[in-house]
Structure 1
Amino acid sequence: MSEVAGICSDLIRIDTTNPGSGEREAAEHIAGLLDEAGAEAVVFESAPRRANVVARIPGDSPDALLIHGHMDVVPADPTEWRMHPFSGEIDEDGCVYGRGAVDMKGTLAMTLAAVRDWARRGVRPKRDVVLAFLADEEATGEYGSLYAVHEHTDLFEGCTEAISESGGFSVQSPTHCGDGDQVRIYPVAVGERGTAWMRLTAHGVPGHGSKPPVDNPVTELCRAMTRLADHRWPVRLTPAVSALIEALSKVLGEPIDVDRLDEEAARLGVVGALFKAQIRNSANATMLNAGYKVNVIPGSAEAHVDARFLPGYRDELLETIDALLGPKVTREFVNLSGAPSAPFPSPFFDELCGALVAEDPLARPVPYVMSGGTDAKAFSQIGIPTYGFAPLMLDPGLDYFGMFHGVDERVPVSGLEFGVRVLDRLLT
């Protein structure tokens, strides 16, 4: 087993489910791997067992690059998986299997394997590299990135940009572009949508379930949620997504009709998934809670909504949601964070693309905007822009997007090894 696969397996076996018992064990394991490579790791807790790890690898220039990633994972029900989600086994297809393989212990393993390889070879990166392994990304980041940037800002001194999850992966097998050459598309993220998690509450008049209701909050909330679900959010093309569509059109050798983007996304399949969720705001109901007995109309009902907004369209999102909810349903934020972006075009973006092409001559990198959110939101608060760059060459049969928070999450060992080579090229 290669070192990167072994590190990934070991990290998966450490259950860092959020919410759960915390990230302390994973943090200590990572600190040990760094110490063996001669990198002094700083471990700090934001709350009992909510641990974070930061280390600085000296380079030939004090201008630093930050590589940040999270140790926590979302829950996994073992009854739904082929193998135990915290087994870390290598499956029959040559993939490291388990919760966090993609999101994002595989990326942590690539980073650690690269650093440990430098130590063995006596190699220094071309500039300082700051590594941050963080808690709580799968919630609000309160115990991880937000705590780190507010309470340990000095650890990130000199960092001019960062890389992290959700970018740098191949999204299809080699295909022929307009000039007949075979190519493989690699999205490199230059931004993400903003997050607005909300708790909705409807208040009403409690009463007996057998009598005509005076004001049933369960019914009122259900009506509001239906209006929200049925709403068709308008297409809003941001500059970065426009650049993505233009780049895809060039790579594919055919124009993508910007007036029919939903149809185009469906036609292009996995390539269309790169912009399908990034052309509009969204709001999805994710949790409901109401009542305590079948024959009692409760006095209130609650729901949670995961809303996301494009850069510059937060006000439009909130105004639309308020209109759809109506006067009897109130909202409060569980988490509200911006839509950070990284400079594009830029010399560093070109460096990221160059590292991919050097390892895969078929690579055609394109700019990309993430539909979800990352710890980039926190680091943007201290002026460090993040690019989504966790390089992987993937088998086209693997539903990479479906791996995030999905069942049977796994990552190819060959993809992890490819990622280590790309990171080594980029950083040294």
Structure 2
Amino acid sequence: MSAEKWEDNEEIKIFREYLRIPSVHPDIDYTACVEFIKRQADSLGLPVDVVCPAVKSKPVVIVKWLGEQPELPSIILNSHMDVVPVFSEKWTHEPFSADIDEQGRIFARGTQDMKSVGTQYLGAIRLLKASGFQPKRTVHVTFVPDEEIGGSLGMAEFVKTDFYKQMNVGFSLDEGGTSASDVHHLFYAERIRWVLKLKLGGTAGHGSLLLPNTAGVKLNYVLNKLSEFRESQVQRLINDKSVNIGDVTTVNLTQLSGGVQSNVVPPLFEAIFDMRLSITLDLVAFEKQIRDWCEEAGGGIQIEFTQKEAYVAPTKMDDSNPYWIALKAAIDELSSYPFGRYSGVNAACAALGLLPINHTPILLHNHNKCVQADSYLQGIGIYKELISLLY
């Protein structure tokens, strides 16, 4: 199918318009995203609220589809507006051009994480409203800021507001991941994110000397220990084919700073590690291990967790969860779309994550992110069926 044919599809046009908004970190101006969502809500005849729970520059946008029985617990269809930084030289297409190639692949930052989901929700609602469907429960389609940097001034603050409490949320659909096969993955839990900052103090002096207890030596020791732990998780993935990335703990050095000039041993190095902890990991024991390694390195290391999420139990996928029963019924009806399950989303309420785009490599924050136009449109149909049976 030619790119020209995809370009004429109304849902693809809407998706591409959203992708072209460069809501990229750092220092995002969300104004264009908010205006885009307002226009889409207006086209659906649905009201919009914009709430800034922490600061004015971090808006949460809520599109409301009132249910026939608004006293029932409502449903949230959640997505985030922000995307991670790009390295344009690594892309074959401009990262915010939303180009379509002859194979029907749409290239842009946000195609998978996660602007696609936001516009797929709206596309599904468009189909449902056109068919005359009216939900029993109220549906809230939420678009939140700053998910890619932890959401501390976005969703984390929004759920504390009276506005959120009045929404009476019972269940949420949220972010998932693409599938390279014909199976769609359903996410029922989330790894715990910790951001570890180490300030490693040590003996300073001339670069020609072998000084004791330098910041560099301490950094090397702790980095080696964390790297050994990281390698154990890599080997687990390699050796156990039943394990996937959601079942292991990831540790990555993401920022390193320090030093004054090339011939001076500095008094301080600073290192930041991004960690995504498995829900089966003993968090208390793991933190103690980190602190022990810092002492073994020679002490004088300041340990700070700039983000330290608490454990959240996985969403139950059994008869005790009425939303799961409804969702499973919908999935069973979608027999032509096989579903698998693994780790993914957490929330204060019951939550499951889904990105209904298959036959697509999982690119996450990689370069050249893309989705197939036909798979994107198929996903709108999947959401249509899921939403209709959740109510």
TM-score tier by shorter-chain length is 0.7 to 0.9
Q: Which residue of 2 aligns with 1:61?
A: 69
Q: How does 1:28-427 map to 2 (within 5 A)?
A: 28-45=35-52, 46-62=54-70, 63=72, 64-154=74-164, 157-166=167-176, 169-173=178-182, 185-231=183-229, 262-265=238-241, 272=242, 275-311=243-279, 313-326=282-295, 327-340=299-312, 341-345=314-318, 346-361=321-336, 363=338, 365-370=339-344, 376=346, 379-380=347-348, 384-392=349-357, 394-395=358-359, 398-400=360-362, 403-427=363-387
Partner SS, residue 302 of structure 2: strand
Q: Does the aligned pair in 1 maintain the 2:158–2:164 contact within 8 Å?
A: no
Q: What is the aligned-residue RMSD (CA, Å)?
A: 2.3
Q: Which TM-score applies when normalising by structure 1?
A: 0.80
Q: What is the CA deviation profile of residues 254-287 of structure 1, one whole-angstrom value per residue up to 9, with x for unaligned ones?
A: xxxxxx874232xxxxxx5xx3334443422222
Q: What is the CA deviation profile of residues 292-318 of structure 1, one whole-angstrom value per residue up to 9, with x for unaligned ones?
A: 211221111011111222336211221
Against the structure 1 CA distance between its residues 328 and 84, is the aligned structure 2 distance closer, same or farther, given a 3 Å change threshold? same
CA distance in 2, matches of 1:49, 1:120: 35
Against the structure 1 CA distance between its residues 353 and 3, is the aligned structure 2 distance closer, same or farther, given a 3 Å change threshold? farther
Query: Which amino acid is 1:127 matched to?
Result: R
CA distance in 2, matches of 1:28, 1:152: 24
CA distance in 2, matches of 1:125, 1:423: 14
CA distance in 2, matches of 1:156, 1:200: 41
Partner SS, residue 18 of structure 1: coil
CA distance in 2, matches of 1:112, 1:362: 21
Partner SS, residue 195 of structure 2: strand
Against the structure 1 CA distance between its residues 416 and 156, is the aligned structure 2 distance closer, same or farther, given a 3 Å change threshold? farther
Q: Which residue of 2 aligns with 1:269?
A: none
Query: Which amino acid is 1:134 matched to?
Result: V
Q: Does the aligned pair in 2 maintain the 1:166–1:389 contact within 8 Å?
A: yes
Residue segments in structure 2 that go unaligned for 5+ positions in a row: 1-7
Q: Which TM-score applies when normalising by structure 2?
A: 0.87
CA distance in 2, matches of 1:107, 1:170: 14
Partner SS, residue 103 of structure 1: coil
Superposed displacement of residue 129, structure 1: 0.7
Residue segments in structure 1 that go unaligned for 5+ positions in a row: 174-184, 236-259, 266-271
Q: What is the CA deviation profile of residues 131-159 of structure 1, one whole-angstrom value per residue up to 9, with x for unaligned ones?
A: 11000000020221012112354465222
Q: Does the aligned pair in 2 maintain the 1:188–1:389 contact within 8 Å?
A: yes
CA distance in 2, matches of 1:155, 1:35: 25
CA distance in 1, matches of 2:166, 2:261: 52
Partner SS, residue 47 of structure 1: coil
Q: Does the aligned pair in 2 maintain the 1:162–1:385 contact within 8 Å?
A: yes
Q: Does the aligned pair in 1 maintain the 2:246–2:342 contact within 8 Å?
A: no
Q: Does the aligned pair in 2 maintain the 1:3–1:113 contact within 8 Å?
A: no
What is the aligned residue count? 369
Partner SS, residue 289 of structure 1: strand
Against the structure 1 CA distance between its residues 215 and 232, is the aligned structure 2 distance closer, same or farther, given a 3 Å change threshold? closer
Superposed displacement of residue 31, structure 1: 1.6
CA distance in 2, matches of 1:52, 1:390: 21
Query: Which amino acid is 1:61 matched to?
Result: Q
Q: Does the aligned pair in 2 maintain the 1:5–1:109 contact within 8 Å?
A: no
Q: Does the aligned pair in 2 maintain the 1:187–1:367 contact within 8 Å?
A: yes
Against the structure 1 CA distance between its residues 164 and 232, is the aligned structure 2 distance closer, same or farther, given a 3 Å change threshold? closer
